[in-house]
Amino acid sequence: MFVSFLKKYGWLYVVGIVILVIHSRIKTLIPSELGNAIDLLNDRAPRSDIYHCALLIVLLAVLVFITQFFWRICIIGNSRRLDIELRKDYFAKLQSLPVSFFSKQRSGDLIAYAINDISAVRMMFGPVFAMSINGIVTATLSIFSMTGDIDPHMTLFALLPVPVAILALVVLGQMVQKRSRKAQDLFSKISGFVNESIMGIKVVKSFAKEENWTADYKEISDEMKQANIRLNNAGSLIGPAVSVTFAVSFTISLIYGGNLVLNGEMSVGDLVAFQSYLTLVQTPVIQLGRIINMVQRGIASYKRLNVIFKEPSIDTKEFADYNQPIKGDISCRHLNFCYPGSEKPALCDVSFDLHAGQTLGIAGTTGSGKTTLCSLLLKFYHTPRGMLFIDGVDINDIPAKAVREAVGYVAQDGFLFSSSVEDNIRFYADMLNGRTQKAAALSNIDTEIQQFEQKYETRVGERGTRLSGGQKQRISLARALYKDPQILILDDTLSAVDNITETVITGHLDGVLKNKTAIVISHRLSALQHSDLILYMQDGKVIEAGTHEQLMRKNGMYANTYRMQQERQDDHVEEE
C-alpha cells in the first residue's frame, strides 16, 4: 500500500531530507557564533565586529526558520498526503471485502484502525521520520564541533553519562509499548461499545437498562483511564531520566571547562559554545524516547492495517461487465452450503426451478436457511459450483455486479442511511421525474411521507431512528422498487406492518411483479398463497414444496401453520 505512494510522492521526502540536513547544519553554526560574540565582548572588540557577529546570528536564525518551514512542508505535508491516501485505500478495501469478513470483525476494531492506527502510521512517516533525521544530523555535527573546535577530552567526559540515558530510554520505551498496546485495545473495545450502544439505544431504553448500560460503560472507561494513566506514568519518566543524566553532563562540562578557563586554556566563549552544543545533543536524546514509542506504535498499527489489506478481496472479475441481460430464471440443483468456519450445513439438498416472471414463496421455521438462500443469490458468499444457476448459467460464472444490478433486495431490518427520504429511496440512482413518489406509493408510504414537515426532504436520522419499523421497511421496499429490478427479493419485508397494510402493498406488488421474478420470504403464509411455488423449510432442508393449494391438500407443516395463523387472525378480528 506504500509502494504506489512512494512512487508518486517519494521525491518530496528526498527534497525534505536535503533541506532538513541543511537546516541542522545551520543550527549547529549558531553556538560557535555565540561563543565568538562573547569572546569579542570579553576582548572589548570594536562595536562593528560585535554588530557584525550579532547580525550573523540573526541571519542564521532566519535561515533556520526558512529551512524548517520548507522541510516541514515536504515531510510533514507528505505524511498528511499519506494519511489521506491510507484512509481512502482503507475505506476502498473495506468496500471490496466480502460480507463474510464483516461477520467475524468487531466494528469497534475497524473504527479504531481508521482513526488511531492510520494516525500512528502517519506520525511514523512524518514527525518521527523528521525528528530522527534532524536528531542524528544535529547530534553528530554538534559532537564533531565539540571535539574538533573546542576540546575532545571535555567532550568525552561530558558525554559519558549519555549511554545511561539511552539505556533508560530503551527500558522505558519497552514499558511504554506494552502499556500503549493495552490502551489501544481498550480504545477499540470502548469504540465498539459506544457504537453498539447507539445502534441498540431503543432496546436499552425499552428494558429500562440505562443504569446497567452506563455502569458497564463506566467500567470499561475506568479500565481505559487506568491504562492511560499507567501509560502516561511510564512516559513521564522519560523526560526526567534524560534531564537528570544531562544535568550530570552539564556539571562535568562546567567543572572541567571552568578549570580550563581559569587556567587560560579555554575562552569563555568556547565554554558557552560547548554548553550550547551539549543542549543540541540533549534534545535528540530526549526525543529518542518519544521516537521509540511512536515507532513501536506505528509498526504495531502498520501490522494491524496490513492484516486488513491482505484480506482477500472480491475477485475483480466479479465487477466485470456482463454482456447479456439477466432474465430471471433461477434453478437450484441439490444445493448444499456451510458458512465459513462452521461444519453445520445451513442449506442441505435444496432444489427448485423458478422461471422468469414467476414468484417463489419461502416459509419455514427460524434458522431454516431462508435468508441464507437469498445471500447466495446475491453472491454474498461463495456457492459450490454446479448447484445454483441464473438463466441456465452457473452463478459462479456471472459477475456479482451483474447479479446485484439485476436484483432488488429488501432485508427485514429495513436499513436506512442518515439522509433524506428521497436520497434513501433513490440511493445514487439517476433522478427520474415522479419515480420516487411512484415507488413510495407502491410501498404504501407516500401518504405518510407527504405528512412529514419536509416531505421527501425529511432527514430520517441514523439508521432511520426518526421512523417506525414499518415506515423503515416500506421505504426500503420503495428503494428496491425505484431500481425496477428484474429479480425482486423480499426477505420478510413486511413483518413490521399490520395485515391491512400488508394486503394493500401485496395488491400493488401483484401488478409490479407480472413480468419480474420474485422471491418472497414471509412468516405470514397469507402473503405467499398466490406464489407460483412455495418452499417450506426446516433445518436447511425443503420439507414441503408446491403451490398453496397443493400444500394445503398435503395437510403437512405448511397447512397446519396456515390454519393456525388464520385462526389467530380471526380471533384478533373478533376481539376488535
Checking DSSP bridges between strand 359-364 and strand 517-521, what pairing results, if any?
Answer: parallel
Does the pLDDT at position 573 exceed 50? no
Per residue in 129-174, pLDDT tens? 888 888 888 888 888 888 887 888 888 888 888 888 888 877 877 7
Of 50-59, 224-233, 494-503, the poorest mean pLDDT is in: 494-503
The answer to whether the CB of 466 falls within 8 A of the CB of 419 is no
Between CA 118 and CA 86 the distance in angstroms is 7
Does the pLDDT at position 315 exceed 70? no
Does the pLDDT at position 350 exceed 50? yes
Strand, coil or helix: 537: strand
More confident site: 191 or 363 = 363
**Confidence tier at 1 by pLDDT (50, 70, 90):** low
Does the pLDDT at position 207 exceed 70? no
More confident site: 192 or 358 = 358
Question: What is the mean pLDDT of the segment spanning 59-87?
Answer: 89
Per residue in 272-308, pLDDT tens? 888 888 888 888 887 777 787 788 778 878 888 888 8
**What pLDDT is recorded for position 498?**
65
Q: Which residues are CB-contacts of 241 (< 8 A; sequence separation ≥ 6)?
A: 165, 168, 169, 172
**What pLDDT is recorded for position 319?**
73
Distance of CA 35 to the CA centre of its chain: 54
Task: Give whole-number Cα distances, 359 to 151, 390, 401, 505, in Å.
Answer: 94, 15, 23, 16
Question: What is the mean pLDDT of the segment spanning 266-277?
Answer: 85
Whether domain 77-310 has CATH 3.40.50.150: no
Strand order through the sheet with 487-491: 407-410, 487-491, 517-521, 359-364, 533-538, 541-546
Domain map of the chain by residue range? Answer: 77-310, 330-575
Per residue in 470-515, pLDDT tens? 778 788 888 888 888 888 888 877 666 666 776 777 766 766 777 7
Closest CA to 27 of 284, 320, 338: 284
Whether domain 330-575 has CATH 3.40.50.300: yes
More confident site: 84 or 312 = 84
**What pLDDT is recorded for position 316?**
67
Between CA 185 and CA 544 the distance in angstroms is 49
Between CA 43 and CA 385 the distance in angstroms is 94
Per the prediction, the chain carries an average pLDDT of: 81
Per residue in 111-137, pLDDT tens? 778 887 888 888 888 888 888 888 888
**What pLDDT is recorded for position 18?**
93
Helices and strands counted in the chain (H then E) = 22, 10
Q: Which residues are CB-contacts of 349 (< 8 A; sequence separation ≥ 6)?
A: 334, 335, 336, 541, 542
**What pLDDT is recorded for position 413?**
73
